[in-house]
């Protein structure tokens, strides 16, 4: 039995034991609004089949409906709402523990002693701000971020079509994955052979199109595709046309009061709030992705040997684009920084950036807890004020930009940390 197999077995057993413990600790309560929707949708699929999942106002992506179908097939659905809450949270916690196994796989790119690997995985899987989203709130953001992490893992392994596969899975689990699309495209262009680039790009497009077609095939054959598209569009585009849906971000630094009740269609000069947020997001995202854009430009336009970019820089970019998405856009919910925090945690643990780890986790926890109020704390305290939490997110973004351009200045292989 090889040492690598022993390590994998050990991590799998550890993740399994963690899953059992977390299932035992799972509270019945959560964010009722979200859990009621999940219960309604799963019951609809159970009674009328997968293809009728969008008969209600279900606005989640197709593969999430497949997961609800699997949830039903495992006999986890129940008419009792409290039992449903427990079973559903535990079902999603499985994917949370799966992310720890992916994190271990990424650790293999960095020479770390086994005892240190175990400690890092222990911190990762029990990092409470991330765990809060599933264990306490009852949300499913861990699903798409786990598959995005898989996509990055296969990028580091130079297996680009596996990278595309797991990105497409993530995209069809939750629409927020589309924020990752520019990074995926740039990473693909960064790695492909320039002499076969046209052939590779055509293959990639056909591969992704075939995957997407297979995901939505049941809705096509049963004639419910139009309803699915309507739900996804109107449920995700301007479904909540307000400045902030409890996301303590840039807009809370500008305004005070109930921003969840203030339209983002009001004008600032010739732009409204939504358009201003998008402009700030696109501009700042370009700055976050610029090192990779420059490398791809050198490769395809200047025909020169591109500069190297470390895996750390890629993790920072992954974290940054989600923080920027959360921070500048209107209509953001409190949970939408989850992917930013997730990739920050991976980067921080791999590089012992403990202050950054605490800062990112703290901001996310404070925002979630200020909304859900699970622990009955003093929510009038300064640390729970929107402006303070928004300031923490701003500090995180500024720190990540500094880390990114510092990392870019150090020439490392794209498969090294």
Return the pLDDT at 417: 64
Phi, psi of 263 (to 5 degrees): -60, 140
Return the pLDDT at 161: 94
Return the pLDDT at 164: 96
Q: Provide the whole-model pTM.
A: 0.95
64 three-state secondary structure: helix
Which parts of 329-410 fold into alpha helices (H)? 338-351, 354-372, 386-408
Structure tokens at 57: 């106002």
Candidates 35, 147, 46, 166; CA nearest to 96 is: 147
Return the pLDDT at 414: 61
Distances (CA, A) of 338 to 167, 322, 390: 17, 8, 15
Structure tokens at 180: 């990752």
Mind listing the pLDDT tens digit for each residue in 130-147?
A: 999 999 999 999 999 999
Q: What is the DSSP letter of 135?
A: I
Return the pLDDT at 69: 95
Return the pLDDT at 1: 57
Return the pLDDT at 40: 94
Return the pLDDT at 391: 98
Low-confidence ranges of the chain (pLDDT < 70): 1-3, 195, 409-417
Candidates 69, 72, 66, 43; CA nearest to 56 is: 43
9 three-state secondary structure: helix
Q: Which residue has the tokens 């409290």?
A: 82
Q: Which residues lie across from 244 on neighbouring strands?
A: 332
Return the pLDDT at 207: 94
Phi, psi of 134 (to 5 degrees): -95, -55
């Amino acid at each position: 039995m090889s040492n690598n197999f022993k390590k994998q077995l050990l991590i799998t057993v550890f993740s399994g034991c963690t899953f059992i413990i977390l299932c035992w600790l799972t509270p019945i309560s959560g964010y009722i609004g979200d859990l009621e929707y999940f219960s309604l949708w799963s019951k609809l699929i159970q009674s009328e089949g997968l293809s009728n999942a969008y008969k209600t106002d279900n606005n989640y992506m197709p593969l999430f409906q497949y997961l609800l179908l699997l949830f039903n097939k495992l006999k986890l659905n129940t008419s009792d709402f409290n039992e449903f809450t427990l079973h559903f949270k535990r079902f999603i916690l499985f994917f949370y523990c799966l992310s720890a196994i992916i994190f271990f796989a990424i650790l293999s790119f960095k020479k770390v002693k086994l005892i240190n690997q175990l400690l890092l995985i222990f911190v990762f899987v029990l990092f409470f701000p991330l765990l809060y989203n599933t264990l306490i709130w009852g949300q499913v953001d861990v699903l798409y971020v786990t598959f995005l992490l898989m996509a990055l893992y296969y990028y580091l392994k130079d297996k680009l079509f596996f990278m595309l596969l797991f990105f497409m899975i993530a995209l069809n689990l939750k629409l927020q994955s589309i924020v990752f699309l520019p990074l995926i495209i740039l990473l693909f262009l960064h790695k492909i052979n320039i002499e076969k680039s046209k052939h590779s790009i055509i293959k990639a497009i056909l591969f992704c199109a075939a995957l997407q077609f297979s995901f939505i095939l049941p809705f096509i054959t049963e004639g419910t595709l139009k309803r699915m598209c309507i739900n996804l569009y109107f449920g995700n585009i301007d479904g909540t046309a307000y400045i902030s849906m409890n996301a303590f971000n840039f807009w809370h630094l500008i305004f005070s009061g109930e921003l969840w009740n203030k339209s983002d269609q009001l004008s600032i000069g010739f732009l409204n709030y939504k358009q201003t947020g998008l402009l700030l997001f696109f501009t700042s995202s370009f700055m976050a992705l610029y090192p990779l854009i420059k490398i791809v430009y050198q490769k395809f336009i200047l025909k020169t040997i591109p500069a190297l970019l470390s895996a750390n820089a890629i993790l920072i970019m992954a974290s940054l684009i989600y923080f920027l998405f959360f921070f500048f856009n209107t209509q953001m919910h409190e949970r939408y920084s989850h992917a930013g925090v997730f990739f920050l945690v991976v980067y921080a643990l791999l590089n012992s950036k403990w202050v950054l780890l605490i800062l990112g986790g703290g901001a996310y926890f404070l925002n979630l807890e200020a909304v859900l109020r699970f622990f009955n704390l003093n929510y009038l305290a300064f640390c729970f004020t929107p402006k303070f939490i928004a300031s923490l997110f701003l500090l995180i973004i500024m720190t990540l930009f500094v880390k990114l351009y510092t990392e870019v200045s150090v020439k490392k292989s794209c498969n090294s940390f």
